Amino acid sequence: MTAGLQGAFLALGSTAPDALDRFDACLAALQDDDLQIVSAAPCVRGPFVAGVGASEASDGGPAVTNTVVRIATRLEPAALLARALDEEVRQGRVRDGQPERSLDIDVLLHGETTVETADLVVPHPRMFDRAFVLQPLEAIAPMHRLPGGHGTVVAAASRLRAQDSGAFETLEPLRAPVLPALPASCTRLEDGAALEAWRAEAPGSVGVVMTMGALHEGHLALVRHACAENDRVVVTLFVNPLQFGEGEDLARYPRTLEADEALLRQTGADAVYVPAPDDLYPSDFSTFIEPEGPAQGFEGARRPTHFRGVTTIVLKLWMRTRPDRAYFGRKDAQQVAVLTRMVRDLDLPGALCVVPTVHAADGLALSSRNRYLDGEARASALGLSRALRVMAQAAAEEARTETILSAGRAVLADAGLEVEYLAVVDAETMLPVETLSRPALAMGVVRVAATRLLDNRWLAFGGASAS
């Protein structure tokens, strides 16, 4: 992949009862050598909106299902639109002025390009006024910078929430579209020597995704981003004993190597590195990284040796894989802050790239540990994502984080959850923020049965005096 690829976003809409199946089929049909589907937001179903610009109003037409899809493409905007229109026709679209539509595809954004022709305007001129566009876009690209002085997606969504919170509340959450496979051969590398031989021969740029296995769509999102931005991708699978404290779940941490490899073959990874512990840690191993700064509060305070274990293994894997780009999930926001600081402080070559958190349709952040939750535990775990959502809504109208935190705490108390912490922090320093002057992270950890669950969400003040 990669040469000449440009990032772009498409909006999909349909009034058909089988809209979700249509979106699945649409993504499968669009993907080819010139267009890779990188991610797709959970769909939302809401009222039909007629008209344009400020006169947009719900007029009682058929319910519409919408989502936003991130792609990497070699197609110029006009050629991309032509592909989209072909797919609309293939799915039976008739432009007869009626509200019913089998499939509607809009080009929202195409890199930094602006287009103003009779057939196509990019950025899409109405995207900033539409909750059914901004909410899905926020789920897959919250910190994407919008052109034309609109700021980040999270800031634009927060401004619209401040003006019209009802438009977000009417959106019913549905599952995300199924992403099409990106078949690859995925060579298994079992030790450092095999990895080194693969790395020395890998042509072009190399993307690296470091995981502890038990893969799910959250990990696969990292792999898809890596495949879109690099010529070769290697995924590491290693349950790192150094980052587990005493009494934590090292022994029962799920290990699912064959299923993981099958998923990676479907998702475009070229190689998977599955070292044994003594390949990385000889018996007299005695050198460790000691992170300070952003490692000190929250997880660092509760799990005193955790980040030392994370930074030590990431540095080792970084040296062995020599990434042009290494991908980490925002779900572990403090880990991202600690590793970003390490990459800067130790002058590591290559870039650390952050991928937005993938949530299940019910709102739970995907985690290898979710398999520990039974139905009842899962239902109460949802209180955390609900609290973060309520905090985003509170931030639309209120910049003081104490007020925003109270709104979140009330939801957690209502859900009867055991809360370890809930905070609003600067994403780089992990220090608490008192007033939202730029996007900050709301993050929390709750305990459900014996399982610790963490999640976070970007907040921006949407009120009139936002800077």
Catalytic residues: 219
Q: Which positions from 361 to 400 touch ligand AMP by CB under 6 A, shown as an x/- string?
A: ----xxxx--------------------------------
360 is an interface residue for ligand AMP by CB under 6 A: no
Size of the chain in residues: 467
306 is an interface residue for ligand AMP by CB under 6 A: no
Residues in a beta bridge with 329: 355
333 is an interface residue for ligand AMP by CB under 6 A: no
357 is an interface residue for ligand AMP by CB under 6 A: yes
8 A C-beta contact, residue 136 and residue 156:
no
Amino acid code (one letter) for 439: P
> Which residue stretch of 266-274, 352-360, 376-384, 427-435 sits at the interface with ligand AMP (rule: CB under 6 A)?
352-360
Residue in the structure block whose two tokens are 């104490």: 402
| CA–CA gap between residue 354 and residue 337 (Å, rounded) | 10
415 is an interface residue for ligand AMP by CB under 6 A: no
> Which residue stretch of 50-58, 92-100, 252-260, 351-359 sits at the interface with ligand AMP (rule: CB under 6 A)?
351-359
Judge if the upstream peptide bond of residue 123 is cis by omega within 30 degrees of 0: yes
314 is an interface residue for ligand AMP by CB under 6 A: no
Among residues 24, 260, 332, 398, which is the contact residue for ligand AMP, using CB under 6 A? 332
Q: Residue 400 or residue 452: which is nearer to ligand AMP going by CB?
A: 452
Phi-psi region of 7 (alpha: psi -120 to 50; beta: other; left: phi over 0): beta
CB atoms within 10 A of CB 246: 6
8 A C-beta contact, residue 214 and residue 227:
no
Q: Residue 14 or residue 230: which is nearer to ligand AMP going by CB?
A: 230
| CA–CA gap between residue 127 and residue 46 (Å, rounded) | 15
222 is an interface residue for ligand AMP by CB under 6 A: yes
Distance of CA 25 to CAs 77, 127, 211, Å? 22, 24, 30
211 is an interface residue for ligand AMP by CB under 6 A: yes
| Residue 430 Cβ vs ligand AMP, minimum distance, rounded to whole Å | 15
Please enumerate in sequence order all residues whose Cβ is within 8 A of that of 373, keeping only pairs 6 or more positions apart, or say none. 381, 448, 449, 451
**Dihedral of the alpha carbons of 239, 373, 440, 140, in degrees to the nearest 10:** 80
Among residues 71, 103, 133, 221, which is the contact residue for ligand AMP, using CB under 6 A? 221
Size of the site for ligand AMP (CB under 6 A): 17
218 is an interface residue for ligand AMP by CB under 6 A: yes
**289 φ, ψ to 5°?**
-90, 135
Under rule CB under 6 A, which residues in 17-56 are in contact with ligand AMP? Answer: none
Q: Residue 158 or residue 367: which is nearer to ligand AMP going by CB?
A: 367
Centroid of chain to Cα 195: 28
CB atoms within 10 A of CB 70: 25
Q: Residue 27 or residue 210: which is nearer to ligand AMP going by CB?
A: 210
Q: Residue 299 or residue 332: which is nearer to ligand AMP going by CB?
A: 332
Among residues 110, 219, 316, 341, which is the contact residue for ligand AMP, using CB under 6 A? 219
| Residue 384 Cβ vs ligand AMP, minimum distance, rounded to whole Å | 13
Both tokens of residue 116?
């103003």
Among residues 263, 355, 443, 460, which is the contact residue for ligand AMP, using CB under 6 A? 355
| CA–CA gap between residue 235 and residue 273 (Å, rounded) | 6
Residues that bind ligand AMP (CB under 6 A): 211-212, 218-219, 221-222, 328-329, 331-332, 355, 357-358, 365-368
